[in-house]
Amino acid sequence: MIEKVLHALAEPRRRDILYLVRDGELTSSAIASHFEISAPAVSQHLKVLEQSGLVVVRRDGTKRYYGIRRDGFAELKQYIDRFWDDSLLRLKEAAEEEERRRNGTNKQ
Amino acid sequence: MIEKVLHALAEPRRRDILYLVRDGELTSSAIASHFEISAPAVSQHLKVLEQSGLVVVRRDGTKRYYGIRRDGFAELKQYIDRFWDDSLLRLKEAAEEEERRRNGTNKQ
DNA sequence: CACTTAATTAAGTGTCAACTAAAATAATAT
DNA sequence: ATATTATTTTAGTTGACACTTAATTAAGTG
């Protein structure tokens, strides 16, 4: 899902939408009123954001309230952390392997 | 710079390049040998990654060694954290304002 | 200098995605 | 059922961008 998260965040307008819904839910039209783009454009962005797991929708009658989904951001942070953890782990294993190799030849 | 960082990370191939240089520096051609795309394509990706601050180049003769720049990733983590901090701060201020308003009317 | 190696820049192509207006869906009210 | 409100889906256009090959730069080497 990190693919979709990064793709969603890469678009400036989608980040602007996230800033808007960060403090509380907003309807699609309420969000659209803050920008100069059309309602369908906003709707399409919201779809991308929802499918990335960064926002959630709550339906109430004809209205749809969009709000932040914290787990989506947590996933991104995890991805960054793991990026380093994996690297360190592999470097550690390589060092241990090197150590074993040296011990082996030294004892011969 | 977060704009460039997110844009750089959104592209799968650039993430693949980052995985390669994560454990140590590699030349442009060494990176290219891991993929089926042309050397210029890799070079263009490296340019984007460098300008985003996610990688650094070290020149040595005709070779250019590309390596990870940790600060680039730190910046991204900061961005995510600040996303929440700013939100909480604004919600807190709004609550305090509300509190002041209620106290004011109560004393009248 | 001519040649080689390493890499980039330039120019051109095809695909994707951000937008628009118009049509369609969905829930509710008259 | 018809109308209204909120929103999405569809179809089409435009610009960005990930590629390609060809040309160019840069740094040694014989």
Task: State pLDDT tens for residues A11-45.
Answer: 999 999 999 999 999 999 999 999 999 999 999 99
- Is the pTM value of this prediction over 0.85? yes
Count the alpha carbons within 13 Å of B51 in the hemisphere toward its beta carbon: 10
Question: pLDDT confidence of B106, banded at 50, 70, 90?
Answer: low
> SS3 for A100?
helix
Q: What CA–CA distance (Å, rounded) separates A26 from A68?
A: 10
Nearest Cβ partner for A3 among B12, B18, B76: B12
Predicted confidence (pLDDT) per residue in B51-101, tens digit? 999 999 999 999 999 999 999 999 999 999 999 877 777 777 778 877 888
Closest residue (CA to C1') to nucleotide C9 in the complex = B40
The mean pLDDT value for A80-106 works out to 80
pLDDT at A76 over 80: yes
The verdict on B84 touching A (C-beta cutoff 8 Å) is yes
Contact criterion met (CB < 8 Å) for A76 and B73:
no
Contact criterion met (CB < 8 Å) for B10 and A12:
no
Contacts of residue B52, defined as CB under 8 A and 6 or more positions apart, other chains included, come to B1, B4, B5, B7, B8, B9, B72
Predicted local confidence at residue B91, as pLDDT: 75
> SS3 for A31?
helix
pLDDT at B38 over 60: yes
